[in-house]
């Protein structure tokens, strides 16, 4: 009888047990019931009180655990994101992972001069184009707050730049209910109408509550807007250990989760079943330099823990980070920190993984870092695919054939089995250099950063982005110029 195939174990990581996970969750619920939060958005405050929250003598809103539980039940377990041409691009659920860039950096590393300078609108376009051309990067974020865009509509302009230069899904930032409506308008134009966008969203909003436990008006406007329009949103706070939260990771996570549960509850009370991406950002505030670290080992640990809590408790896809660094250039530190966060994010099955390409603790964006991370993601991806064991891969006939004929000059390299398998069964790096010293030297003795620069330049010059229609492009120009345009 034919025996069942040997299943492939896909390596994965756990950092919490059930006891730890539930203890952190219960701490989060206790924070909501006992400490409560400041809600500055009056309509939302009323909605929460009607739903069963109460206020204490300091006017803080206290939330019963049952409201959070109900929200966790009504939010969808899976979020589907589409590309800008309406094709399914991501299924944010369970073990699936996707990588993308970050937003809001002030500086970027100029690809031609290597200089660190203020970002301009063109940079956001370039990052979107690079993402479009890289195989292992799945979504775009603006990667800059450009100095040449009008500051009151800066997020609308970077969104337009991304749409004009790429077709992958976009995670966007907005300031308030005002600019988010404009961004939504552009997105509707691209998707072919509001219904089409709601059915096949290519956008996901990133907004932040303010730690500890403060919910400002502009943030609530965005949350409510997205809930009503069924645009996927995440609302992680910056409860970094020692900064927005206590310096101990468990407490910082509990605080972040409490804040996240407030967001989720408001979101589900506004429109039950609307898509919400869960989990806070729990990095650390560096105790020497007071910067929030983007290369620290702690953030990788907390997000792995949050992924564990997703599996054990929340059952909602999670927001996370990777492929970033505190280094000022794409150097050895950048490679090491980038890889640590990428491989652990993947091993713990974080879902929506952003900030790829951040250097200098998120103050600076780097096209080279994104390019490097693309390869690190590919390496990690190979690793988590696991090791296939079957008759074909055990290759006993091949071993027998070659071993018996070594005297006649047989080598595995020349065997049919090798020819059939080597390309798909082995990982072939594109940027990592494995050449012999002589060849490496002959080719200019280039280091990794230089190879990343060259690859990024090549993509920006050669990659063809499928262009948007003339009508869409004209519509975007009109929206940016505050003129009326032909709706599609």
Partner 1 sequence: MSTQEIYNAILAFDEVSVKAKVRAELGAGTDIQTILDDGLVRAMDIVGERFSAGDLFIPEMLKSAQVMKAGLELIKPLLTTDQSRSKGTVVIGTVKGDQHDIGKNLVAMMLEGAGFKIVDLGVDVESEVFVKTAAEQKADVIALSSLLTTTMPAMEQTIRITKAANLAVKTIVGGAPVSQAFAHQIEADGYSADAPGTVKLVKELVG
Rounded to whole angstroms, the Cα distance separating 116 from 438 reads 33
Q: What number of other Cβ atoms are within 10 A of residue 357's Cβ?
A: 33
Is position 414 an interface residue for partner 1 (rule: CB under 8 A)?
yes
User: Which of 411, 427, 429, 487 is close enough to bind partner 1 by CB under 8 A?
Assistant: 411
Is position 427 an interface residue for partner 1 (rule: CB under 8 A)?
no
CB of 412 to partner 1, least distance (A): 8
User: Which of 1, 436, 462, 484 is close enough to bind partner 1 by CB under 8 A?
Assistant: 436
Cβ distance 363 to 105 under 8 Å? yes
Rounded to whole angstroms, the Cα distance separating 410 from 79 reads 53
Write out the H or E segment, with its range, that includes residue 419.
helix 416-425
User: Which of 290, 396, 409, 481 is close enough to bind partner 1 by CB under 8 A?
Assistant: 409
User: Which of 394, 399, 406, 471 is close enough to bind partner 1 by CB under 8 A?
Assistant: 406
- Tokens for 181? 């409506």
User: Which of 1, 287, 396, 413 is close enough to bind partner 1 by CB under 8 A?
Assistant: 413
Is position 438 an interface residue for partner 1 (rule: CB under 8 A)?
yes
* Torsion region of 396: left, alpha or beta (phi above 0 gives left; psi -120 to 50 gives alpha): alpha
* Interface stretch with partner 1, choices 88-96, 312-320, 330-338, 436-444 (CB under 8 A): 436-444
CB of 422 to partner 1, least distance (A): 5
Is position 434 an interface residue for partner 1 (rule: CB under 8 A)?
no
Cβ distance 237 to 259 under 8 Å? yes
Is position 389 an interface residue for partner 1 (rule: CB under 8 A)?
no
CB of 393 to partner 1, least distance (A): 16
- Tokens for 291? 């910067």
CB of 414 to partner 1, least distance (A): 5
- Tokens for 199? 């059915």
Is position 428 an interface residue for partner 1 (rule: CB under 8 A)?
yes
User: Which of 195, 419, 445, 477 is close enough to bind partner 1 by CB under 8 A?
Assistant: 419
CB of 410 to partner 1, least distance (A): 7
CA dihedral 145, 149, 153, 154 (to 10 degrees): -10
5-10 long-range contacts (CB < 8 A, ≥24 apart) are 5/390, 6/389, 6/390, 8/385, 8/386, 8/387, 8/388, 8/389, 9/386, 9/387, 10/95, 10/384, 10/385, 10/386
Closer to partner 1 by CB, 424 or 484: give it. Answer: 424
Closer to partner 1 by CB, 396 or 413: give it. Answer: 413
Cβ distance 248 to 71 under 8 Å? no
Cβ distance 303 to 345 under 8 Å? yes
* Interface stretch with partner 1, choices 59-67, 101-109, 135-143, 418-426 (CB under 8 A): 418-426
User: Which of 58, 407, 462, 464 is close enough to bind partner 1 by CB under 8 A?
Assistant: 407
Write out the H or E segment, with its range, that includes residue 348.
none
CB of 381 to partner 1, least distance (A): 20
CB of 395 to partner 1, least distance (A): 14
* Interface stretch with partner 1, choices 142-150, 219-227, 230-238, 434-442 (CB under 8 A): 434-442
CB of 4 to partner 1, least distance (A): 32
Q: What is the DSSP string of 204-245?
A: EEE---BTTTEE-HHHHHHHHHHHHHT--EE---B--BTTTB
CB of 454 to partner 1, least distance (A): 13
CB of 451 to partner 1, least distance (A): 12
Nearest Cα residue to 236 out of 203, 276, 286, 285: 276
Rounded to whole angstroms, the Cα distance separating 63 from 338 reads 38
Pairing of the two strands 233-234 and 116-118: unpaired
**How many residues interact with partner 1 (rule CB under 8 A)?**
16
Rounded to whole angstroms, the Cα distance separating 389 from 8 reads 7
Is position 289 an interface residue for partner 1 (rule: CB under 8 A)?
no
User: Which of 18, 393, 399, 422 is close enough to bind partner 1 by CB under 8 A?
Assistant: 422
**Where do contacts with partner 1 occur on this chain (CB under 8 A)?**
406-407, 409-411, 413-414, 418-419, 422-423, 428, 436-439
């Amino acid at each position: 009888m034919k025996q069942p195939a040997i299943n492939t174990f896909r390596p994965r990581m756990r950092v919490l047990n059930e006891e730890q996970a539930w203890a952190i969750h219960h701490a989060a619920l206790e924070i909501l019931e006992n400490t409560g939060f400041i809600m500055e958005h009056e309509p939302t405050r009323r909605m929460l009180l009607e739903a069963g929250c109460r206020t204490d003598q300091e006017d803080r809103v206290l939330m019963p655990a049952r409201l959070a539980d109900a929200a966790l039940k009504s939010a969808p377990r899976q979020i589907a994101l589409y590309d800008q041409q309406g094709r399914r691009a991501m299924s944010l659920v369970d073990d699936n992972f996707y990588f993308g860039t970050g937003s809001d950096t002030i500086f970027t590393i100029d690809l031609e001069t290597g200089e660190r300078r203020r970002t301009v609108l063109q940079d956001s376009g370039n990052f979107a184009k690079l993402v479009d051309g890289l195989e292992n990067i799945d979504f775009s974020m603006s990667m800059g707050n450009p100095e040449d865009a009008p500051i009151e509509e800066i997020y609308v302009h970077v969104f337009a730049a991304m749409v004009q230069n790429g077709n992958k899904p976009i995670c966007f930032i907005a300031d308030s209910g005002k600019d988010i409506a404009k961004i939504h308008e552009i997105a509707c134009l691209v998707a072919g109408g509001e219904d089409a966008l709601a059915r096949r969203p290519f956008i996901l909003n990133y907004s932040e509550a303010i730690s500890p436990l403060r919910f400002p008006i502009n943030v609530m406007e965005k949350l409510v807007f997205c809930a009503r329009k069924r645009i996927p949103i995440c609302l992680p706070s910056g409860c970094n250990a020692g900064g927005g939260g206590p310096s101990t990771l468990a407490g910082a996570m509990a605080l972040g989760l409490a804040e996240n549960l407030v967001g989720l509850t408001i979101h589900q009370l506004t429109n039950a079943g609307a898509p919400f991406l869960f989990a806070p950002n729990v990095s650390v505030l560096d105790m020497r330099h007071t910067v929030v670290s983007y290369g620290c080992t702690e953030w990788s640990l907390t997000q792995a823990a949050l992924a564990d809590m997703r599996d054990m408790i929340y059952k909602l896809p999670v927001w996370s980070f990777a492929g970033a660094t505190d280094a000022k250039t794409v150097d050895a530190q950048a490679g090491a920190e980038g890889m640590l966060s990428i491989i652990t994010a993947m091993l713990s099955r974080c879902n929506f993984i952003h900030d790829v390409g951040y250097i200098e603790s998120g103050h600076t964006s780097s096209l080279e870092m994104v390019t490097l991370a693309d390869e690190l993601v590919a390496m990690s991806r190979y690793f988590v695919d696991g090791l296939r064991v079957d008759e074909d891969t055990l290759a006993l006939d091949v071993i027998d054939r070659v071993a018996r004929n070594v005297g006649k000059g047989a080598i595995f390299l020349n065997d049919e089995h090798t020819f059939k398998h080597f390309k798909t069964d082995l990982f072939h790096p594109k940027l990592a250099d494995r050449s012999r010293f002589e060849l490496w030297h002959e080719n200019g003795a280039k280091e990794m950063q230089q190879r990343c620069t060259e690859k990024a330049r090549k993509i920006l010059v050669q990659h063809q982005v499928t262009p948007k229609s003339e009508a869409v492009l004209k519509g975007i120009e009109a929206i940016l110029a505050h003129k009326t345009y032909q709706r599609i």
